[in-house]
Structure formats: structure tokens, C-alpha cells
């Protein structure tokens, strides 16, 4: 029997309720057995930006998932070459997991529409299924056209690639609009972030004087 594992990557600087709700919604909507949150050690598109240390971001993630039993945190990208590429993370997961594991990469439509810019994107699509969250509007039609171009055919509520047999599932589930960059700005300006991040994460940020400048 297949073990369905959701994978949610990101910088998580810091982790917030938008990330957590996305992960848990993916678990509920697509019947996943577990969801792994994987912080990027050095994201390729942020190599020249100052990022909070990996140890701080891992610590905040662990605090955020304490009472969320379906969510797990992995530090595997600390072991892999930098910058952190999705293909290398997925290959590592495949090699070091049970044969029955089926990967489901969780992402938004905006990111998925840029997948051709990812390193070895065809290999990424052949290793993992995708769970793509869309906002209502014309982006959905654009996504469907793009899936056709990539060789996916619609079957019931999912898309199947005729060559790799991997699937893409889409959802327009409404998620909170929160960004880590906005949280950092608000903390710097002394504004409240009480509705954006878990209390334990906020206390950690204050104790360790993160985002003060």
C-alpha cells in the first residue's frame, strides 16, 4: 500500500500560519499520511539576500509543529550541496525512504507556472506528484493550459502525465494571505504579528532578537 508523503519546502523565515494551513489543508484534501516541512539551507533565488541562520529557522519550525501531529520537520537540506535545489532534495528522499513512499510536492500555482526554470525540472516532475493550490480567477485556466503543454491529461479531478504516470492535483482552497517578509517588517517596526505566527515562534523571535534590524 502506498505511503503518501506531502513535501512543503521554503525559506520559512519565519514559519507562519499561511505555511501551516497550506500543509494541513494538503493533508486533509489529498488524504496524505504525513507532511514534511523542509527549510532550504541556501535557496538559489535568495543567495544574495541575508537569510536567518538555518538553526534558527529549524528551531522555529519545530516550535510551530509541536501540537500538529501530521507535520514533521526535516533538516536534510543542511546535508546536501548548496544552493538547495528541489531535484536534489527529492532524490535524497527517494533513496532514503521505503519503496512504497509516494511523494506529493505542495506548492502554489505561481511557483508551479515557473517550474521550467527549476534545475532538472523534467526529473522533478518524473520523481514527484504535485499538489498545486490556486487562487480563483484566470490563473486556473493558465495553469490548465500549462499542464497540457507539459504532457498532462485531465482525468476526473486530477491531471496524469502519459509518460511518467505522475499526477498533478489542483485546489482553489482559500488560504490566508501572509508573507514572511511582511512579518519581518512588522516586527522591525514594533507592530503586532499575533494573528500571523504561533505564540511560541514569536517568543523565540523576541528572545533571540531576530528581525530587529
pLDDT in tens, 198-209: 999 999 999 999
- Would you list the DSSP string of 51-90? ---HHHHHHHHHHHTTT-TTEEE--GGGTS-SS--HHHHH
Task: Write down the pTM of the prediction.
Answer: 0.93
- Would you list the DSSP string of 134-177? --SSTHHHHHHHHHHHTTEEEETTEEEETTT--EEEEE------
CATH 3.40.50.620 is held by the domain 3-176: yes
pLDDT score of 47 more than 60: no
Higher-scoring residue by pLDDT: 36, 175: 36
pLDDT score of 43 more than 90: no
* CA angle at 199 for the pair 194 and 201, rounded to the nearest 5°: 110
According to DSSP, residue 49 is labeled S
Higher-scoring residue by pLDDT: 79, 73: 73
Q: Which residue has the cell 532534495?
A: 89
Give the whole-angstrom CA distance, residue 65 versus residue 20. 8
pLDDT in tens, 155-192: 988 999 989 999 999 999 988 889 999 999 999 999 99
- Whether 7 contacts 38, CB under 8 Å: yes
Give the whole-angstrom CA distance, residue 95 versus residue 203. 37
Give the whole-angstrom CA distance, residue 148 versus residue 196. 36
C-alpha cell at 185: 517588517
Mean pLDDT for all residues in the chain? 92
Per-domain boundaries in the chain:
3-176
Q: What are phi and psi of 21, to 5 degrees?
A: -70, -35
Residue 93's pLDDT band, with cuts at 50, 70 and 90, is: very high
Amino acid at each position: 500500500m502506498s505511503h503518501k508523503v506531502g513535501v512543503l519546502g521554503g525559506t520559512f523565515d519565519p514559519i507562519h500560519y499561511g505555511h501551516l494551513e497550506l500543509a494541513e489543508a494538503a493533508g486533509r484534501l489529498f488524504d496524505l499520511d504525513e507532511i514534511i516541512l523542509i527549510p532550504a539551507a541556501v535557496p538559489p533565488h535568495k543567495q544574495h539576500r541575508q537569510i536567518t541562520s538555518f538553526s534558527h529557522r529549524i528551531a522555529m519550525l519545530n516550535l510551530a509543529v509541536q501540537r500538529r501531529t501530521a507535520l514533521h520537520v526535516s533538516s536534510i537540506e543542511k546535508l546536501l550541496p548548496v544552493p538547495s535545489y528541489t531535484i536534489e532534495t527529492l532524490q535524497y528522499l527517494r533513496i532514503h525512504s521505503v519503496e512504497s513512499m509516494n511523494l506529493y510536492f505542495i506548492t502554489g500555482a505561481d511557483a508551479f507556472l515557473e517550474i521550467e526554470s527549476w534545475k532538472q525540472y523534467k526529473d522533478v516532475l518524473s520523481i514527484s506528484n504535485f499538489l498545486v493550490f490556486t487562487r480563483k480567477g484566470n490563473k486556473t485556466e493558465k495553469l490548465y493550459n500549462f499542464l497540457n503543454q507539459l504532457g498532462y491529461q485531465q482525468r476526473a479531478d486530477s491531471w496524469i502525465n502519459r509518460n511518467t504516470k505522475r499526477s498533478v492535483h489542483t485546489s482553489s482552497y482559500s488560504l490566508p494571505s501572509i508573507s514572511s517578509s511582511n512579518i519581518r517588517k512588522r516586527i522591525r517596526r514594533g507592530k503586532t504579528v499575533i494573528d500571523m505566527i504561533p505564540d511560541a515562534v514569536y517568543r523565540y523571535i523576541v528572545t533571540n532578537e531576530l528581525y530587529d534590524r
